[in-house]
Chains A and B, each alone.
Chain A
Amino acid sequence: MPKIKYFIQQSWLLIVSSFCFGLLIAASNAALSPQIERNLANKLNKLTIALLPAAKQFIPLDADIEVQIASGKKEKVKIYKALSDTEQCVGWSFNASGKGFSNMKLVVAVDKNFEKLTGFDVLVCNETPGFGDQIKMSYFRSQFAGAPVEELTLVKTGDPTKIDSEIVAITGATISSEAVVNILNTFLDSIKKQMKEKGLLGDGTK
C-alpha cells in the first residue's frame, strides 16, 4: 500500500497530463480528420487523372482483392476501373502502401490489359526531405511509365530513360527507391493474378 501511495504521489501529474493531452489530441484529430481525408481524396483524384489522362470517370470495382504485405498481414485493395468518355476501359488504378524509411502510400495506374504500368505517384510520403522524397520527382517516376507489369529490378547504374523492368535507383535514396520497387512488385503481381482468377481482365475490360 505505501508503495502505491508513493507511486501515485510521484506520478499523478504525469498520469493526469497524459490523459488530458490525449483528450486534446483526440479532439483535434476528430475536428481536423474530415478535412485531411478530403484533401487526400482530392489529391488522389488529381494524381489518378494525371496518370490516366484518357479516363473520364473511375468506377470502384466490386471485388475482394487482398494483398499480403511485407509484415505478413493482408491488406484489402480498392481497384478503380478507368473509363473513357465512350465508357471504354482505359486502365486500372489502385493505392499501394509499404515502408521505406517511413510509411509511404502510392497511387498506381496500369493499362487496360494490366500489361504495362502507366505510372505511379506519391500520395503520402514521409521520407527524408531532399533525399528519400526524391521518389516524387518526375526523373525517377518517368522510368515506370510504360514499364512492363512483371518483376521490376532495382539497379544502381544504368540508363533511366530506357523503359524496361530495370529501374535505376536515386543516388543517396537507395532505400526509398527500393521501397517503391518492392511495393510495386508486391501489389502488381498479386492484383494481376487475382483479377485474372476473377475474370476481370479480358472480358471485364470491355
Chain B
Amino acid sequence: MAQSSELQTGLYRRALLAGLWQQNPTFRLLIGMCPPLAVTTAVKPALTMGVSVIFVLVCSSFVTSLMRNLLKPHLRIIMFTLTIATFVTICDLYLKAYFPRMSELLGAYVPLIIVNCLIIFRAEDCASKSGLIVSILDAIGMGLGFTVALCILAGIRELLATGCIFDLRIMPRGFVPWLAMQMPVGAFVTLGILLGLASALTKKKES
C-alpha cells in the first residue's frame, strides 16, 4: 500500500517537474517556438503570454483528460482544437477586458495560442492518456517551463535593449542600449545562445 502511494507521488512529481527542465518545451523539445521569438521584447508581454498559455494548457488538459475514454481516434484532433480554441477565446476576451494594453501589445499572438503545438502535443501525449491529476500537474509543469523560458529570453533582451527590466534601471548610466536586441535578430541570437547553453548543460549532466 505504502509502495503504491510512493509510486503515485513519484509519478505526480515527475509529471510536474518534467516540463521545467528535462522536457522543457522551449529549451529541450523546441516546440511552440513562435511566442519565444515574437513576444519576448520585454518581460511584461512575455509573462502575460506565459500565464495565458498556462491557463489554456491547464483548462484544455482538464477537459481532454475528462473525456479521454469517450474520444474517437479519428475525431480527437478536432476535439483538441475545439477545446483549445474555446479557452483561448475566453483568455483573449479576458485580456481585452482587464489588460487592454497587454492585449494590444500581444495582438494576434494571443489568438495564435490555438495553433501552439505545445498545447496540442500535451493533449495528445499526456491528457488523452492519463488521469486528471497527472494531466493537470503536467500542464502546470509544462506551462511553467514555457513561461520561465519566455521570461529568461525576454529578460535578457529587455535588459540589453533598454538597460531596464520592469521599468527598473539595472544597467549603469553609461550603458549604450543594444537596439538590435529588440529586433528579430535579437530573438534568434539570444535563443540560439540559450539553446546551446541548455544543450551543453544537459550533456555535462549526462556525462
Contacts and interface: CB of A to CB of B under 8 A. Distances in A.
A65 to B, nearest CB: 28
Interface string B13-45: 000000000000000000000000011000000
A36 B106 CA distance: 16
Interface stretch (A16-24, A111-119, A152-160): A16-24
A13 B98 contact: no
3 closest pairs, A vs B, by CB?
A35-B97, A21-B86, A32-B97
Contacts of A21: 82-83, 85-86
A125 B105 CA distance: 10
A2 interface: no
Nearest to A14: B75
A190 interface: no
Contacts of B89: 25, 28
B192 interface: no
Contacts of A129: 38-39, 105-109
Interface stretch (B66-74, B124-132, B139-147, B152-160): B66-74
Interface in A71-130: 102, 125-130
Contacts of A102: 108
Given A14-B79, A126-B108, A129-B107, A29 B38 contact: no
Contacts of B67: 13, 17
A29 B184 CA distance: 34
Contacts of B96: 32, 36, 39
A10 B108 contact: no
Contacts of A126: 107-108
Given A32-B96, A39-B96, A129-B108, A24 B90 contact: yes
15 contacts: A11-B75, A13-B67, A13-B70, A21-B85, A25-B89, A28-B93, A32-B93, A35-B97, A35-B98, A39-B100, A43-B100, A102-B108, A125-B107, A129-B39, A129-B108
A29 B97 CA distance: 10
Contact of B184 (A10, A17, A24, A130): A130
A interface bracket (residues with beta carbon within 8 Å of B): 20 to 34
Contacts of B38: 129-130
B82 to A, nearest CB: 6
B78 interface: yes
B72 A10 contact: yes
Nearest to A24: B86
Contacts of A33: 93, 97
B39 to A, nearest CB: 8
B166 interface: no
Contacts of A17: 67, 79, 82-83
A32 B90 CA distance: 9
Contacts of A29: 93
